[in-house]
Amino acid sequence: MTRSEHIRALLEEYAQQRMIDEADQDARVAEASRRDPEIARLRAENAELALGTMRRMLSMDTAEARADAAQRMKQRGIANNAELRRRLAALGLPEDYLAVRYRCPECRDTGYVGDAPARFCACFEARLRARQHEDGSMAGVDEQCFERFDLSRFPEQDGQRERMAAARKVCEAYADAFPDARYRNLLLTGPSGVGKTFLLNCIYARVVDRGLSAVRVTAFRMFETMRRQHVGEDPGGADFRSLLDAPLLLIDDLGTEPMMRNITVEYLFTLLNERAAARRHTVVATNLSPVQLQERYGERVSSRLLDRAVCGAILLKGKDLRTL
């Protein structure tokens, strides 16, 4: 499944969970009301109190009258709630017995937190990552984070360990400062096996752990999203839109995706150009050098990948750790 498909499925799960939450609350309210009918009356009075007061306030001519009505509503509500708590205690029930019990109190099982524009809750991001791990789209990411960064794995010869230490410092600072990092974008370049993907995944993990939204894709999956958009297999363009709109997009292994006429270069340019215009953040890891990027994608794409005004470039070189 694509990220967009996972998100839609998860949002449906969250909607179902809210229905379960509300059904559970209804059952508890019914039980408490059966044992003490006055509880049902007080709850109904509270509901009518707010609605009735708002209706009356619409016909009031002065601000003083509206303020007085609001104050009387507040005082009556406080008294009713105190009486509800007293009656619940008399039944041996906790004072919050009638409240909705959310699986995640932070987002109230909506999956979103914060004011507009809202972002995915940490619980939603964690479950999204789990779903993507299960279908293999993010295999191994949980093991790759700054907390598990072992600098001793990098040889000291030819300054490889020193370069990686410096690269880690830059990447960690970027992840900690996002979205207010010094550079809006990062480009990680170098041969295979020198730690580019690891650093990219570390950035992703830190940003998500901070409760912020990010999308990580391999170049091949990015290409598949672009191809599906081009041939009309993505209804409404939701998957490609998720790449365009992600506050932080991380693309791994750029240069390994297929080169297909009218798709690869054209859609990559659109993606980078639209994200640049919207001032969104992008991190790219690639085995290609700046010269090779220009040869493969042309001037328009490479200029957006290598724009020094907004992009910090990190060149990694050394021995392939997978052969050591």
Query: Does pLDDT of 272 surpass 80?
Result: yes
- CA-CA-CA-CA torsion for 222, 225, 231, 232, nearest 10 degrees? -160
Query: Does pLDDT of 271 surpass 80?
Result: yes
pLDDT at 143: 66
Mean pLDDT, residues 23-46 taken together:
91
pLDDT at 280: 93
Q: Which residue has the tokens 């059904």?
A: 23
pLDDT at 324: 58
DSSP 105-125: TTTTTSSEESSSSPEE-HHHH
Extract the tokens encoding 15. 């909607």
Mean pLDDT, residues 292-300 taken together:
94
User: Could you give the CA distance from residue 213 to residue 245 in angstroms, rounded to a whole number?
Assistant: 11
130 Cα distance to chain centroid: 13
Extract the tokens encoding 299. 């001037």
Distances (CA, A) of 24 to 33, 118, 165, 267: 14, 27, 52, 48
pLDDT at 233: 80
Hey, what amino acid is at 319? K
User: Could you give the CA distance from residue 26 to residue 244 in angstroms, rounded to a whole number?
Assistant: 41
Question: What are the tens digits of pLDDT across the range 6-15?
Answer: 777 888 888 8
Instruction: Find out whether 39 and 84 touch, Cβ atoms under 8 Å.
Output: yes
User: Could you give the CA distance from residue 317 to residue 163 in angstroms, rounded to a whole number?
Assistant: 8
β-pair type (281-286, 311-315): unpaired
Question: What are the tens digits of pLDDT across the range 106-148?
Answer: 888 988 887 655 678 888 887 887 776 655 555 555 567 888 8
Hey, what amino acid is at 286? T
Instruction: Find out whether 73 and 50 touch, Cβ atoms under 8 Å.
Output: yes
H/E element holding 311? Answer: strand 311-315
Distances (CA, A) of 67 to 53, 60, 64, 81, 196: 11, 10, 5, 21, 61
Question: What are the tens digits of pLDDT across the range 164-194?
Answer: 999 999 999 999 999 998 899 999 999 988 8
User: Could you give the CA distance from residue 244 to residue 274 in angstroms, rounded to a whole number?
Assistant: 7
CA-nearest of 28, 1, 173 to 97 is: 28
pLDDT band of 158, cuts 50, 70, 90 = confident
Task: Note if the pTM is more than 0.85.
Answer: no
User: Could you give the CA distance from residue 214 to residue 11 in angstroms, rounded to a whole number?
Assistant: 17
Mean pLDDT, residues 67-75 taken together:
87
User: Could you give the CA distance from residue 218 to residue 126 in angstroms, rounded to a whole number?
Assistant: 19
pLDDT at 134: 58
Mean pLDDT, residues 200-216 taken together:
85
Residue 174: how many CB atoms within 10 A of its CB? 24
pLDDT at 303: 92
Q: Which residue has the tokens 């995640």?
A: 104
